[in-house]
Amino acid sequence: MRKNILITYTLIIVFILLLAGYFFLYNIYGSEIRLSPKNLFADTSSEMRIEVVPINALGRKAWFRKSSAHFEIIEGVDLIEIIERKPESGLLIIGSKGKVGVVGIKIKSEHSLLPEYIEIQILDLNV
């Protein structure tokens, strides 16, 4: 009898932990755009990685999840070249063509209500 009660309590605790893990760690509550590196320079070897990261309830990357995104270059098309574009995993890698200016990119994520707009300033090498 005591063994059955112990097994029942253990199953209830495991179920609650799994349910909390799903809602706090796995479920997506928004998305965040991460740029690495933060600056793009006016030389032909400068690259920037733009990634859409799904965010869980704790404000960190959601476990085992990806967020697809659509990237649209609004301004500064002639200033950059697209090196790699993976919309299914929310990744865009751009490279500078060696010109100074501002690039505007509109990003519509699968888990965002409205599109986000980011501006990337291509800095001169003398800065």
Residue carrying structure tokens 């751009």: 94
At 61, the pLDDT band (50, 70, 90 cuts) reads: very high
Phi, psi of 5 (to 5 degrees): -65, -40
Q: Give the per-residue pLDDT at 34.
A: 95
Q: Give the per-residue pLDDT at 127.
A: 52
**Which residues are CB-neighbours of 124 under 8 A, at least 6 positions away?**
41, 42, 100
At 26, the pLDDT band (50, 70, 90 cuts) reads: very high
- The class level of CATH for 2-123 reads mainly beta
Which DSSP letter does residue 125 get? T
Q: Give the per-residue pLDDT at 60.
A: 93
Convert the pLDDT of each residue in 42-60 to its tens digit: 888 899 999 999 999 999 9
pLDDT > 70: percent of the chain? 99
Q: Give the per-residue pLDDT at 20.
A: 93
Residue carrying structure tokens 């409205």: 114
| Rounded CA separation 82/34 (Å) | 17
Residue carrying structure tokens 């800095």: 123
Domain ranges of the chain: 2-123
| Rounded CA separation 94/92 (Å) | 6
Convert the pLDDT of each residue in 85-124 to its tens digit: 999 999 999 999 989 999 999 999 988 889 999 999 999 8
